[in-house]
Structure 1
């Protein structure tokens, strides 16, 4: 449930802090005051598409924050939070979103940075926003299968998950089969190219670790003169005219003489002697290394040629020698398969047929689940429409199943058909429903789905478009019924809807210092009567309209009391 909402610098909203409660909350006000802007801000908060056009003129960024509480029944949200490493053990979720003029977008969930994809994943499980856009989706047959699956989700989800796994494997296998059935000339050209690559790699006689060894040898040969000079100087300092070792030998004899006289110099004598013998051994090793050193210009050329050969192979076949060897193993396998194309193609066709059969079985299971769910959905929608004064309406889910046309969601093509008047044939929803009828149809669907989704916050943005009179009253009562035990936020121009609300916010705008600002006021008592009177009368509020508004509120209280029992 949405508890708190903070909006900064969003469109004409400079700063807004709202607290929400359980039950039905209505937002009313003059057209253009900013009611839908608040819903747009909520949509952005839960992962909607952002635009710098949302940022209030003259400001660098907009900020939106929302505090939500979640219960244990909202398993989808809890799993999504856990999967993304977000702690919500206290039952609280804080969504934050900032959008900058530079285009930078920052999202946080409980203080942790998140992508808009993750924000949308979590947000869609916290709040369900119904707007005129969904009316457009309802008119699109492609959207109807999603609605049916959403209704039957608990029953269909395991089978659909298995089907989609098999479908991905089947699609990959079918792509391979298409590649194997290409033009014979293309396959022959492919085989020739692979054999050329195979020969080129084979002739290089690649060995693991060879390149590293060559680089080290090249380094030694490139620095031959410096190494030789350094060793010669070291040897000369020890054994040459400088007589380094002779001086140390003489020092060793003198300290040894002193230690013979005074034993406490024994350790010092041994230390000097040890150093002498170590340096003598080192001088011998330096001499040996000097004898081994031999500069061979041709060897350096050979190494550089080999390294250049390896470099060219890496540009063609892999970033390392290991990668080239791995690639060579892959082309060996492909050459083997291409050389024995008919056998391999036959095996692939057998595997493809088996995969197709498994996919067909799962698709049939999906169809059976959907057809059963369609019957249940039809009955529930009929019941809801009856309560919304569409008693004569007939609703049906029409299936157009193509057994060999597999898609990611099965083989079913689903469309909602309806007849709103007796004697009229069933037709596609897009061809028979008026604006008011679509509003009632969507409300019926929302009422049904609210029992299945586990989402406790539902937003209706002008769901009552195109209705009036007793239909408006029926819609008001239906929205209130959805709000029982959960939370509904509703933008409305209907006094009947406003009268049924548990909480009422009035949205207004004013111009100060040539800037337009939106403000929100919580209404109660006489203020609520005044606003409902304005909604009834339009411009001029009279004692009669106030009396009518008061009667509507009184009647609403009775209806709400009945629905609570």
Structure 2
């Protein structure tokens, strides 16, 4: 649910803060006052392309922000959590447009791209009218609507599973087919590479051992010198450490017999003597075995050079050469058994296609059954909403050669607005106002199958009279029982049903034009309804008519929300 919208320096708005509640809210005002500015601002927050001329004249930047309550939108909360963008039960969107052409977008305080907002947008808002986000015109959205209302989740999962299995087999066959033409040449090349590697026999963990041994041999003379010098200090002729420690330990042992308080000192000398003696023996063994071997050093350098040459050739680290040899051996083995694998995949493909076809046909049959009932319900609602001759159908056309995780059906809403006219795709028939009414009819039919987000209707009542407008208002009010609804309207009969009423107006102050939006009290809403009914000059008769209209709307809304009321 949209809870707050804040705008600074955007077109004619210098500063605006609006709070929204649940239920049905309406925006009214004279033509040109800027009612659609708010919807355009929401579009920008959801990733629409920005223009520099949207920044208010004289300002260096425009700032837009919106807040949403996600407590009734668990799918959105889960998506945000998966993307690492969650912030509890709320969602905060912010966008800054810079005069120099920069644009910065954040979601819950984290920088995001416009593409991220375009993915999130339809989950938060549905905007219907002559604006963006008219997802209803897209075949994918129409198919998703049919599946959602029909409860086809299990069938969709079955088709998706069958599609994934078939796709893997087709990809494997494609790889084999691509290599079939040059299979012999590829086998010869692989064998040559493997033979070269086998000739050098790179071994697992050998590289690190080679590097360590080479380091010892390359610095052999220095190592011997340092070892001999250390041994001389421990046991040599000039002030040797080990004999000195031995004598000190003997002296202290005699002293301890005379004064036991020196036992701790004697122990410390003993603890120092033991590792010194061990170091002496270890160095003696090291010097006895160590030698400078030019031939071994030369062999190590050649072996390391082989590793470097092969690693450059195979574009890998030297220590990874054994793994490369193993991989090439597997590829050669697969190539040698290619014919057998191809026949095996052919059999698997036939079985997988059959499994996919059966699952897709079950889904298609369910869709056709749902389409029949859904088209009838939508058509009945559309006719009530001022399109008395409309015919609605859901076309479910199987395309046998099509492979898709959603089945092989092309789902399309078709419409005829006038008697004798053929059914045509929705996008080619409906105008902006008609599309909004069709969207409203669908929303009413699908209200129990849709997320409890926000729906925005822009002039859904365009081109209709008072009686139809009242029916539209009633449907919007009914829909708002389940979802938050925001409607831009010029019809008092629609606005009368709103639980929250906002008036949009332009004013000129200090030679500057500004658009402001004011939430109305009940008495102010009656005055606005009277203006919508009677024009600029508001008469007592218009006020009486407005009060009557409001009373009828409240009574109708109360009846619809009662147990006996229907949507």
- What is the TM-score of this pair, normalised by structure 2? 0.84
CA contact under 8 A between 1:252 and 1:272: conserved in structure 2?
Answer: yes
Which residue of structure 2 aligns with residue 160 of structure 1? 156
Cα separation, partners in 2 of 1:432 and 1:342, compared to 1, 3 Å: same
Aligned counterparts, 1:410-425, within 5 A: 410-425=407-422
1:389 is paired with a residue whose SS is coil
1:489 is paired with a residue whose SS is strand
Residue 287 (str. 1) matches residue 284 (str. 2): yes
Aligned counterparts, 1:534-553, within 5 A: 534-536=531-533, 546=543, 548-553=545-550
Displacement, 1:143? Answer: 4.8
State which of 228, 249, 273 in structure 2 corresponds to 1:232.
Answer: 228
1:463 is paired with a residue whose SS is coil
Aligned counterparts, 1:29-178, within 5 A: 29-31=29-31, 33-45=33-45, 47-49=46-48, 51=50, 53=52, 58-59=59-60, 62=63, 64-68=65-69, 70-71=71-72, 76-77=75-76, 79-80=78-79, 92-99=89-96, 101=98, 103-108=103-108, 124-133=122-131, 138-139=136-137, 141=139, 143-152=141-150, 155-178=151-174
CA contact under 8 A between 1:125 and 1:455: conserved in structure 2?
Answer: no
State which of 485, 503, 506 in structure 2 corresponds to 1:506.
Answer: 503
Aligned counterparts, 1:89-488, within 5 A: 92-99=89-96, 101=98, 103-108=103-108, 124-133=122-131, 138-139=136-137, 141=139, 143-152=141-150, 155-182=151-178, 184-245=180-241, 246-248=243-245, 250-252=247-249, 254-255=251-252, 258-259=255-256, 262=259, 265=262, 268=265, 272=269, 275-276=272-273, 279-317=276-314, 319-320=316-317, 323-488=320-485
Displacement, 1:553? Answer: 3.3
2:162 is paired with a residue whose SS is helix
CA contact under 8 A between 1:232 and 1:290: conserved in structure 2?
Answer: yes
Displacement, 1:494? Answer: 2.6
Displacement, 1:413? Answer: 1.5
Displacement, 1:552? Answer: 3.7
Displacement, 1:383? Answer: 1.6
Cα separation, partners in 2 of 1:547 and 1:434, compared to 1, 3 Å: same
**Range moving further from structure 2, 284-293 or 345-354:** 284-293
Rounded Cα–Cα distance in structure 1 between residues aligned with 2:257 and 2:16: 97
Displacement, 1:476? Answer: 2.4
**Range moving further from structure 2, 542-551 or 141-150:** 542-551
Rounded Cα–Cα distance in structure 2 between residues aligned with 1:176 and 1:388: 54
Rounded Cα–Cα distance in structure 2 between residues aligned with 1:318 and 1:212: 18
Rounded Cα–Cα distance in structure 2 between residues aligned with 1:455 and 1:260: 92
CA contact under 8 A between 1:457 and 1:487: conserved in structure 2?
Answer: yes
Cα separation, partners in 2 of 1:277 and 1:549, compared to 1, 3 Å: closer
Which residue of structure 1 aligns with residue 24 of structure 2? 24
Cα separation, partners in 2 of 1:352 and 1:50, compared to 1, 3 Å: same
**Range moving further from structure 2, 407-416 or 517-526:** 517-526
Displacement, 1:171? Answer: 1.9
Cα separation, partners in 2 of 1:263 and 1:138, compared to 1, 3 Å: closer
1:193 is paired with a residue whose SS is helix
Q: What whole-Å deviation, never above 9, does each CA across 1:391-437 have from its counterpart, x for those lacking one? A: 33222222321223222321112222233333333333344444443
**Range moving further from structure 2, 284-293 or 17-26:** 284-293
Cα separation, partners in 2 of 1:293 and 1:313, compared to 1, 3 Å: same
Displacement, 1:505? Answer: 0.5
Rounded Cα–Cα distance in structure 1 between residues aligned with 2:380 and 2:487: 23
CA contact under 8 A between 2:27 and 2:504: conserved in structure 1?
Answer: yes
Gaps of 5+ in 2: 563-567
Cα separation, partners in 2 of 1:17 and 1:231, compared to 1, 3 Å: same
Rounded Cα–Cα distance in structure 1 between residues aligned with 2:157 and 2:556: 44
Gaps of 5+ in 1: none
2:182 is paired with a residue whose SS is helix
Rounded Cα–Cα distance in structure 2 between residues aligned with 1:295 and 1:309: 23
**Range moving further from structure 2, 59-68 or 385-394:** 59-68
CA contact under 8 A between 1:135 and 1:438: conserved in structure 2?
Answer: no
Displacement, 1:351? Answer: 0.6
Rounded Cα–Cα distance in structure 2 between residues aligned with 1:103 and 1:320: 43
Cα separation, partners in 2 of 1:324 and 1:59, compared to 1, 3 Å: farther
Q: What whole-Å deviation, never above 9, does each CA across 1:347-385 have from its counterpart, x for those lacking one? A: 010011111111101110110111011011111112202
Cα separation, partners in 2 of 1:550 and 1:348, compared to 1, 3 Å: same
CA contact under 8 A between 1:4 and 1:67: conserved in structure 2?
Answer: yes
Q: What whole-Å deviation, never above 9, does each CA across 1:62-104 have from its counterpart, x for those lacking one? A: 3524141624xx5534654665688888xx4243435475544
Which residue of structure 2 aligns with residue 3 of structure 1? 3
- What is the TM-score of this pair, normalised by structure 1? 0.85
Rounded Cα–Cα distance in structure 2 between residues aligned with 1:37 and 1:351: 57
1:206 is paired with a residue whose SS is coil
Rounded Cα–Cα distance in structure 2 between residues aligned with 1:311 and 1:55: 60
Rounded Cα–Cα distance in structure 1 between residues aligned with 2:270 and 2:138: 98
Rounded Cα–Cα distance in structure 1 between residues aligned with 2:559 and 2:235: 114
